Amino acid sequence: MLGLPGAGKGTQARLISQKFKIPTVSSGDLFRDHDKNNTELGILARDYMLKGAYVPDDVTIRMITEWVSLQDKSKGFILDGFPRTINQARVLDDILTNYGGLDMAVYIDISVAEAINRISTRVLCSICQSPFSLLDGVKEGDVCRTGDGGVIYQRPDDKPSAVEERLKVYSRETQEVIQYYQTRDNLRTVSGAISINEVKSEIISTITSLENERYSTDRRSI
Ligand code: AMP
């Protein structure tokens, strides 16, 4: 899942994961867990995250490789927020040679103005990480509406100074990753300016048509 901060990558990754019963992971959530648990990776990542900078590739790749190695090879998985640099994309290609290669890179397209608008009003549940909007009357310190007992908070890197850096680093590093997948014909672009359910339906239909294409190619080669 690729897209600007606030594009809805995490929300869609969770929905698609439930629909197809395949695991998903968010590199940002993994880093936040490591940070909370004071692990070596968390300590290494902390300062970069606070500033809105990317964590160095070696640290990020180590963390994702560890997660991937624990997954069932036959099922596949959804990565949310990884890769974000060309180097990470190349390493992912290597990792995926053991998994039959990459099926698709889904790019959720929103404008920079929309990203800023969403991030500046975004708050999250401390437990399920579901996003809510201050515009819907949810405030920091509220209890999560899902009933999991989580407390609503604003990510420190959703504050304006870090957001500016996150947008800069995205255009410097991650635009190139989008082009990389486009050139290889792996990229599927979905507008993120429509409702959550509409984005979900578009992604599902993209995945289903890829499955159908593969099925008919397999049938032709029998
Ligand atoms: P996110 O929750 O996806 O916005 O990520 C939060 C922060 O974690 C980012 O601003 C980075 O500091 C770090 N991070 C997450 N994924 C990556 C990645 N693929 N490469 C480098 N840093 C990352």
DSSP notation for the chain? -B-STTSSHHHHHHHHHHHHT--EEEHHHHHHHHHHTT-HHHHHHHHHHHHTPPPPHHHHHHHHHHHHHTS-TTT--EEES---SHHHHHHHHHHHGGGT----EEEEE--HHHHHHHHHTEEEETTT--EEEGGGT--TTPBPTTSS--BEE--GGGSHHHHHHHHHHIIIIIHHHHHHHHHTT-EEEEESSS-HHHHHHHHHHHHHHHHHHHHHHHHHT-
Model confidence at 219, pLDDT cuts 50, 70, 90, reads low
Per the annotation, the verdict on 166 as an active-site residue is yes
Tell me which amino acid residue 59 is.
V
Q: What's this model's pTM, rounded to 2 decimal places?
A: 0.91
Q: Is 174 in the pocket of ligand 1 (CB under 6 A)?
A: no
pLDDT tens track for 10-65: 999 999 999 999 999 999 999 999 999 999 999 999 999 999 999 999 999 999 99
**Residue 159 pLDDT greater than 90, yes or no:** no
Q: Does the active-site annotation cover 84?
A: yes
Cβ of 10 less than 6 Å from ligand 1? no
For residue 64, give the ligand 1 atom closest to its CA: 19
Return phi, psi of residue 108, to 5°: -95, 115
Please count the other Cβ atoms lying within 10 Å of the Cβ belonging to residue 53. Answer: 15
User: Which ligand 1 atom is at minimum distance from the Cα of 5?
Assistant: 4
Q: Tell me, yes or no, if 214 is annotated catalytic.
A: no
Tell me what pLDDT residue 169 has: 96
Residue 55 in contact with ligand 1 by CB distance below 6 A: yes
**Structure confidence at residue 153 (pLDDT):** 94
Q: What is the pLDDT of residues 163-214, one digit of tens each?
A: 999 999 999 999 999 999 999 999 999 999 999 999 999 999 999 988 888 7
- pLDDT for 217 equals 74
Q: Closest Cα to atom 5, ligand 1: which residue?
A: 28
pLDDT in tens, 72-113: 878 899 999 999 999 999 999 999 998 889 999 999 999 999
Q: For position 222, what pLDDT does the model report?
A: 62
- Identify whether 122 is a catalytic site residue: yes
Å from CA of 4 to ligand 1 middle = 11
Whether residue 118 lies in the annotated active site:
no
Distance between Cα 187 and ligand 1 center (Å): 21
- Cβ of 84 below 6 Å from ligand 1: yes
The Å distance, Cα 128 to ligand 1 centre, comes to: 18
Q: How far is the CA of 207 from the centre of ligand 1 (A)?
A: 25
Q: How far is the CA of 19 from the centre of ligand 1 (A)?
A: 25
